[in-house]
Amino acid sequence: MNRLKRYRIALIIVLVVELLFTSCFYIYRINAGIPDSLKVYVGDDSSFDFSVPIEADLEGSIEALNISNAQKRDDGQIHFSMRQPFTVTSAQKGRYRMNLKLFGIFNLKSISLDVIDNLELIPCGNTIGIQVRTDGLLVLGTGAVKTASGLEYEPAYQILQTGDYITGINGNDVSSIKKLERYLNNTDDDHVTLDIRRNDKESKVKLQTVECEDGSTKLGVWVREDTQGIGTLTYISPDGHFGALGHGITDSDTGVLMKIKSGKLYNTEIIKLIKGSSGSPGEIMGMILESDSEMIGRVENNTELGISGTISDNVDISEYKYGSLPVGLRQEIKKGPAVILCQLGDEIEEYNVEIIDIDKGSTDNKGIVVQITDERLLKKTGGIIQGMSGAPIIQNGKLIGAVTHVFVQDAAKGYGIFIENML
């Protein structure tokens, strides 16, 4: 009898845990499926269909903002249900707060509803060479160094970490590896104080210097001051700014998002295309044309959602055949045919793709899943290859996003970012 009772108790516990897990996962999926910001254009009818058991209360004037099936409450808030599709229309710009309640009872989260001016961008698609300098010396790792007497020391061990930035030494600027080496080789100090930045916080650390067999002085730390690569220009805005890649520039050895001080975009000459296959991403191999006449722009920002900056005066935007296109917001994107623009030779070409999945709650660079359907592109590259990151995605005459990642096991498929996230 006791054994049966224990069995029943254990079964109840398992059922309760399973119910809690299922409930938490359900709430997580609902929460993740709704972005932190909904954007609509002034004067447009924007339709949303989340089909979730959420009641929304919006702080704002129902005269300025029209939401289908909404009701004005006694406290002045606008109330509507997200169980059914709803349409938002506004004749003027503004930002509104929306408080969401699961089943109309439990507070889920607060999001914004932004009414913005209609925006147009020039979709590009040309291959670009990217060169950036880090804001400080990026620490890749630490290691042992051998002294003149043959002993080994690792002075930076557990003091410096991968991803740290060295910005100064004994109060002196070290914006380059040469400056750091020059200072170390001209000092008689047994210890130096480094200014470092870790997770955006400034601090100082003290390290022992080591005189090596060749007469040089070292700290036992590997650093990087710059990097370069090839990608695709996504758009140029009417005010002369650009966006590219759709993902950040990371260090090739550590995967750390690089804090940049400056950078430049250049035209490239494509040398070779390496086809992608299952388990082996392909690549656009090219030569960066480093000259003032070939410079496209200056890189000012490097984030998880792409790089951006100012376009050069010598760029002729009339060469981009699409001209300006409206920006398509996430609620306008549909599963089905679309095109991407990319350069695999001398010219930018249009290739057919299929949008096979959309995560409309995405705040990162993987909100769209695309599949290459164009036989020309599949024949040339096998699908999406390195260097195509940033290729603009166009659907129904609107710029909706950019290609960001390839599926390693299926080169014909990859992720894309919503253009509104890039912006």
Q: Are 313 and 164 part of one and the same domain? A: no
Assess whether 208 and 269 both reside in one domain.
Answer: no
Alpha-helical (H) ranges within 166-210 are 177-185
Q: Which stretches of the chain score pLDDT less than 70?
A: 1, 60-63
- 246 SS3 class: coil
What CA–CA distance (Å, rounded) separates 276 from 385? 6
Q: Are residues 55 and 196 in the same domain?
A: no
Same structural domain, 177 and 70: no
From 413, 134, 77, select the one nearest 299 (Cα to Cα). 134
Q: How many domains does the chain have?
A: 4
Same domain, 243 and 333: yes
**Pair (246, 292) in one structural domain:** yes
CATH number, residue 332: 2.40.10.120
Say if residue 6 is in the same domain as residue 81: no
Q: Which of 219, 239, 263 is the last residue of a domain?
A: 219
Cross-sheet strand order for the sheet of 86-90: 46-48, 86-90, 65-67
Q: What is the CATH number of the domain that holds 97?
A: 2.60.40
Give this prediction's pTM.
Answer: 0.89
Residues 232 and 348 in one domain: yes
Q: Say which DSSP state 319 is in.
A: G
CATH number of the domain where residue 157 is located:
2.30.42.10
Q: pLDDT value at position 234?
A: 98
Q: Are 100 and 110 in contact (CB under 8 A)?
A: yes
Tell me, yes or no, whether 12 and 43 share the same domain.
no
Q: What is the CB-side half-sphere exposure of residue 38 using CA atoms within 13 A?
A: 24
pLDDT tens figures, 3-23: 777 778 888 888 888 888 888
Q: CB–CB of 174/167 below 8 Å?
A: yes
Task: Identify the pLDDT of residue 203.
Answer: 93
Domain-terminating residue out of 219, 253, 272: 219
Whether residues 150 and 126 share a domain: the answer is no
Domain boundary residue among 202, 219, 236? Answer: 219
Structural domain range at position 173: 144-219
Residue 294 DSSP class: G
pLDDT value for 58: 86
Note the pLDDT of residue 212: 84
Indicate if 253 and 400 belong to the same structural domain: yes
Give me the pLDDT at residue 367, please.
Answer: 95
Per residue in 245-255, pLDDT (tens digit) is 999 999 888 88
Are residues 175 and 94 part of one domain? Answer: no
Q: Which residues sit opposite 416 in a β-bridge?
A: 368, 403
228, β-bridge pairs: 131
